[in-house]
Amino acid sequence: MITIDKVSKHYGNFQVLTDCSTHVNKGEVVVVCGPSGSGKSTLIKCVNGLEPFQQGDIHVNGTSVGAPKTNLSKLRAHVGMVFQHFELFPHMTIRDNLGLAQIKVLKRDKDEAAEKGMYFLDRVGLKAHAHKFPGQLSGGQQQRVAIARALAMDPICMLFDEPTSALDPEMINEVLDVMTELAQEGMTMMCVTHEMGFAKRVAHRVIFMDHGKIVEDDSKEAFFANPRSERAQQFLAKILQH
Amino acid sequence: MEYQWNWGVFLLPSAVNDGTYLDWMFAGLKTTLALSLSAWVIALLVGAVVGVLRTAPHRGLSFAATAYVEMFRNIPLLVQLFFWYFVLPEMLPAAVGDAFKAMNPVAQQFIAAMVCLGFFTSARVAEQVRSGINALPRGQKNAGLALGLTLPQTYRHVMLPMAFRLVVPPLTSEFLNVFKNSAVCSTIGLLELAAQGRQLVDYTAQPYESFVAVTVAYLAINVVVMLLMRKTEALVRVPGYLGGK
ipTM: 0.93
- Read off the pLDDT of residues A136-181 as tens digits, 9 standing for 90 and up: 999 999 999 999 999 999 999 999 999 999 999 889 999 999 999 9
B229 touches chain A (CB under 8 A): no
- Read off the pLDDT of residues B166-213 as tens digits, 9 standing for 90 and up: 999 999 999 999 999 999 999 999 999 999 999 999 999 999 999 999
A44 touches chain B (CB under 8 A): no
Do residues B113 and B190 lie in contact, with contact meaning Cβ atoms separated by under 8 Å?
yes
Using the predicted structure, report yes or no on whether residue B245 has a pLDDT greater than 50. no
Mean of pLDDT values over B44-70: 95
Using the predicted structure, report yes or no on whether residue A19 has a pLDDT greater than 80. yes
A96 touches chain B (CB under 8 A): no
Overall fold of domain B33-193: MetI-like fold (1.10.3720)
Helices vs strands, H then E, count in chain B: 12, 0
**DSSP code for A129:** G
Partners of A57 in the β-ladder: A5
Do residues A142 and A134 lie in contact, with contact meaning Cβ atoms separated by under 8 Å?
yes
Min Cα separation B232/chain A (Å): 15
Contact B139/A104, CB-based, under 8 Å? no
Mean of pLDDT values over B97-121: 94
- Read off the pLDDT of residues A175-226 as tens digits, 9 standing for 90 and up: 999 999 999 999 999 999 999 999 999 999 999 999 999 999 999 999 998 8
With pLDDT > 70 as the criterion, what percentage of chain A qualifies? 99
Contact B147/A133, CB-based, under 8 Å? no
B 158-197 → A contacts, CB under 8 A: 158, 161-162, 165
Using the predicted structure, report yes or no on whether residue B244 has a pLDDT greater than 60. no
pLDDT of res. A41:
94
**Greater model confidence, A241 or B123:** B123
Mean of pLDDT values over A23-28: 95
- At residue B191, the 3 state secondary structure works out as coil
Using the predicted structure, report yes or no on whether residue A50 has a pLDDT greater than 80. yes
Strands A205-210 and A213-219: antiparallel
| Mean pLDDT for all residues in chain B | 93
pLDDT band at B16 (very low <50, low <70, confident <90, very high): confident
**Residue A9, burial from CB neighbour count under 10 angstroms (0-12, 13-18, 19+):** buried
pLDDT of res. A242:
55
With pLDDT > 70 as the criterion, what percentage of chain B qualifies? 98
Q: Please report, for chain B, the start and end positions of each structural domain, with discontinuous segments joined by +.
A: 33-193
Contact B149/A91, CB-based, under 8 Å? no
Q: Is the pTM of this model over 0.80?
A: yes
Using the predicted structure, report yes or no on whether residue B55 has a pLDDT greater than 80. yes
From the list B143, B161, B240, the residue facing A133 with the nearest CB is B240
- Read off the pLDDT of residues B130-160 as tens digits, 9 standing for 90 and up: 999 999 998 999 999 999 999 999 999 999 9
Which of chain B's residues have a Cβ under 8 Å away from the Cβ of A72? 145
Contact A132/B142, CB-based, under 8 Å? no
From the list A76, A91, A132, the residue facing B147 with the nearest CB is A76
Using the predicted structure, report yes or no on whether residue A72 has a pLDDT greater than 90. yes
pLDDT band at B22 (very low <50, low <70, confident <90, very high): very high
Distance CA A105, CA A116 (A): 14
From the list A50, A78, A105, the residue facing B149 with the nearest CB is A105
Mean of pLDDT values over B53-76: 95
Best CA proximity match to A130, nearest among A145, A111, A146: A145
**DSSP code for B10:** G
Distance CA B69, CA B83 (A): 17
Min Cα separation B95/chain A (Å): 46
Mean of pLDDT values over A44-63: 94
A 47-86 → B contacts, CB under 8 A: 48, 50, 72-74, 76-81, 83-85
